[in-house]
């Protein structure tokens, strides 16, 4: 039996989700569009921490990415500060940290409202789909260029993707781009270097794989089995 929300409950759920979306949109505008955070100052602060700079950079970068500082700039900064090898490890750890922060916040802020708004029956179906393919949904999203990882992780958290899937999916899916942007940051000023060409090649391959995975995932979703209508009870036969 499908749970039906009363109009006041549905309005409250929509209002809660609306507030969350508004806050995230405001953060995105201020940080990603208006660039109110100066990356140069962040870079100097990290550099001033000396030998501990890589350890300091990981949580700082994870928090900054969670409020929509572009991950490309943060990874390039990591490459510029630490080089391609250490920088890639640092960027990848930061990406996983961002996934943890944003998915937990998304679950805390939007999970209950999303379930109320969607309804218990549909939420259970989504949970079942996440249990089957949530990990690879996270991996595929990381491969698709042009999508904010932080914003996607907030959505994944609100939909109830388990934390282990977020961690594993982010680690697998963010590894190619962590190398790409870190390597490009490390090769600033010498874009003819083999490192830069390698990074660009990996970026192209990752983008193609991401587009293919997104297309295939959409087609599989379109072909998913529809719930069969309930059978009508047999009618009683009338004796002549």
Domain ranges in the chain? 7-222
Q: Which residue has the tokens 């904010």?
A: 148
Token code pair at residue 187: 């090769």
pLDDT of 219 reads: 66
Instruction: State the Cα torsion 43-49-50-52 to the nearest 10°.
Output: -110
Q: What is the DSSP letter of 193?
A: S
Note whether 92 and 167 are within 8 A (CB): no
**Measured between alpha carbons, how far is 89 from 169 in angstroms, rounded to an integer?**
16
Note whether 174 and 166 are within 8 A (CB): no
pLDDT along the chain (240 residues), means of 10: 54 78 92 90 93 96 96 93 94 97 90 73 78 85 86 91 94 93 82 75 82 66 53 52
Note whether 107 and 154 are within 8 A (CB): no
Burial class from Cβ neighbours inside 10 Å (0-12, 13-18, 19+) for residue 34 reads exposed
pLDDT of 212 reads: 73
């Amino acid at each position: 039996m499908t749970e039906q929300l009363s109009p006041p409950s549905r309005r409250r759920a929509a209002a809660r989700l609306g507030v969350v979306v508004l806050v995230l949109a405001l953060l995105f505008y201020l940080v990603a569009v208006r660039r109110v955070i100066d990356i140069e100052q962040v870079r100097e602060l990290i550099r001033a921490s000396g030998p501990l700079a890589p350890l300091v950079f990981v949580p700082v970068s994870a928090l900054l990415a969670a409020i929509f500082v572009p991950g490309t700039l943060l990874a390039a900064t990591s490459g510029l500060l630490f080089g391609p090898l250490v920088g890639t490890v640092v960027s990848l750890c930061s990406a996983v940290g961002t996934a943890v922060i944003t998915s937990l916040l998304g679950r805390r802020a939007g999970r209950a409202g999303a379930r109320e708004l969607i309804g218990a029956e549909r939420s259970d179906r989504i949970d079942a789909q996440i249990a089957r393919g949530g990990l690879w949904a996270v991996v595929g999203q990381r491969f698709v260029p042009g999508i904010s990882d932080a914003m996607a992780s907030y959505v994944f958290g609100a939909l109830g993707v388990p934390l282990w899937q977020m961690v594993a999916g982010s680690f697998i899916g963010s590894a190619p781009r962590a190398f790409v942007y870190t390597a490009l940051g490390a090769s600033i000023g010498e874009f003819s270097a083999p490192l830069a060409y390698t990074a660009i090649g990996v970026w192209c391959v990752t983008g193609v794989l991401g587009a293919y995975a997104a297309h295939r995932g959409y087609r599989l979703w379109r072909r998913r089995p529809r719930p069969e209508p309930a059978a009508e009870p047999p009618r009683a036969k009338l004796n002549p």
